[in-house]
């Protein structure tokens, strides 16, 4: 049978008290920081998971920035196409009015002046610039797509390649439109043809009436492009909603992995404190008094 000496009893008691202090200190650190660990060595598993969740959140933040930029691009494009539709609808009204045989020369001249102004407005819309970029010139947004020399258009949108934004893992979304369909040479030639007929002498009512269907073709092209753009805008909304849900779930998982349960830790701290007090009380009775104690 092993003999338990006073020295062994003292050492064991001090070691156990030290362990109690360490546990209480750990609980205090958790309560003050709100985190389960203060350094990776405390719990490598939690630390590795925390880094993984943080990496996911940082990636999501970048996708969120891309989504916001995509929204900005799509919204401005849609607004420009909406304005183009209104301009062309007014142009059509003028064509219907001009097809009236009862109009005099001055009235046709007034229609021609307004038609020219509407054409200029379409040029302005085609050269829409957002954040220093021409949104209707594909992958070359630094160059003006529609260039004029006096009243004559000498250059139309040429770079109609897709501008793609990464909006989710493995998902890219086109944010521009094929501007050659709505601001290309054919579209402006149909408009210019209507203006030329208004200024022709003598007036050919048949050709003016034919301009109505030509302008209708321009309107249909814009509506077709806008419908396709609207589908992409709806898809981006769905992606954004899904991204928001994923971000909330990841944030919640990160919090559960890292953050403490205050009620649990407080309970553990109080329990450990009671154990520590009991250990101190027991130790004072078990450890023999020393000569110093007798001299008091």
pLDDT, tens digit (0-9, with 9 covering 90-100), for 112-167: 899 999 999 999 999 999 888 899 998 888 888 999 888 788 888 877 788 999 98
Check whether 70 has a pLDDT greater than 80.
yes
Best-predicted range by mean pLDDT (28-37, 100-109, 110-119): 110-119
CA distances to 18, 288, 294 from 291, in Å: 25, 10, 5
Which carries the bigger pLDDT value, residue 173 or residue 149?
173
Check whether 66 has a pLDDT greater than 80.
yes
Which carries the bigger pLDDT value, residue 220 or residue 157?
220
* Helix, strand or coil, per DSSP, at residue 152: strand
Longest CA–CA separation in the chain, Å: 134
Mean pLDDT score across all residues of the chain: 83
How far apart are the C-alpha atoms of 25 and 196, rounded to whole Å? Answer: 90
Check whether 202 has a pLDDT greater than 80.
no
How far apart are the C-alpha atoms of 226 and 12, rounded to whole Å? Answer: 81
Kindly list the domain boundaries of the chain, sorted by start residue. 52-254, 262-296
Residue 248 near residue 241, CB atoms below 8 Å: no
CATH class for the domain made up of 52-254 = mainly alpha
Tokens describing residue 106: 């001055």
9-19 pLDDT, tens per residue? 666 666 766 77
How far apart are the C-alpha atoms of 203 and 220, rounded to whole Å? Answer: 27
DSSP 147: E
Which carries the bigger pLDDT value, residue 89 or residue 261?
89
Q: 294 falls in which pLDDT band (50, 70, 90)?
A: very low
Q: How far is CA 26 from the centre of its chain?
A: 41
Q: Which residues pair with 172 in a beta bridge?
A: 166
Please tell me the pTM assigned to this model: 0.75
Q: 292 falls in which pLDDT band (50, 70, 90)?
A: very low
Which carries the bigger pLDDT value, residue 227 or residue 263?
227
């Amino acid at each position: 049978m092993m003999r338990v000496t006073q020295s062994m009893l003292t050492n064991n008691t001090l070691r156990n008290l030290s362990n109690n202090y360490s546990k209480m200190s750990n609980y205090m650190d958790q309560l003050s920081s709100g985190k389960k660990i203060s350094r990776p060595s405390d719990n490598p598993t939690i630390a590795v998971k925390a880094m993984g969740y943080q990496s996911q959140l940082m990636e999501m933040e970048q996708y969120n920035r891309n989504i916001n930029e995509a929204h900005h691009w799509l919204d401005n494009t849609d607004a420009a196409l909406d304005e183009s539709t209104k301009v062309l609808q007014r142009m059509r009204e003028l064509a219907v009015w001009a097809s009236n045989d009862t109009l005099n020369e001055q009235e046709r001249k007034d229609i021609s002046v307004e038609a020219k102004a509407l054409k200029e407005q379409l040029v302005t819309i085609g050269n829409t610039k957002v954040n220093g970029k021409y949104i209707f010139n594909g992958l070359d947004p630094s160059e003006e797509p529609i260039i004029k020399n006096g009243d004559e258009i000498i250059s139309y949108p040429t770079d109609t390649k897709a501008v793609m934004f990464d909006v989710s893992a493995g998902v890219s979304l086109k944010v521009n439109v094929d501007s050659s369909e709505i601001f290309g040479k054919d579209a402006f030639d149909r408009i210019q043809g209507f203006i030329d007929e208004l200024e022709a002498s003598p007036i050919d009512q048949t050709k003016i009436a034919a301009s109505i269907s030509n302008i209708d073709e321009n309107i249909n092209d814009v509506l077709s492009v806008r419908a396709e753009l609207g589908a992409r805008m709806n898809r981006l909304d769905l992606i954004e909603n899904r991204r928001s849900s994923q971000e909330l779930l990841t944030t919640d998982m990160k919090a559960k992995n890292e953050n403490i349960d205050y009620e649990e830790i407080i309970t553990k701290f109080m329990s450990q404190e009671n154990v520590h007090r009991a250990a101190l009380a027991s130790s004072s009775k078990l450890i023999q008094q020393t000569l110093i104690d007798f001299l008091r």
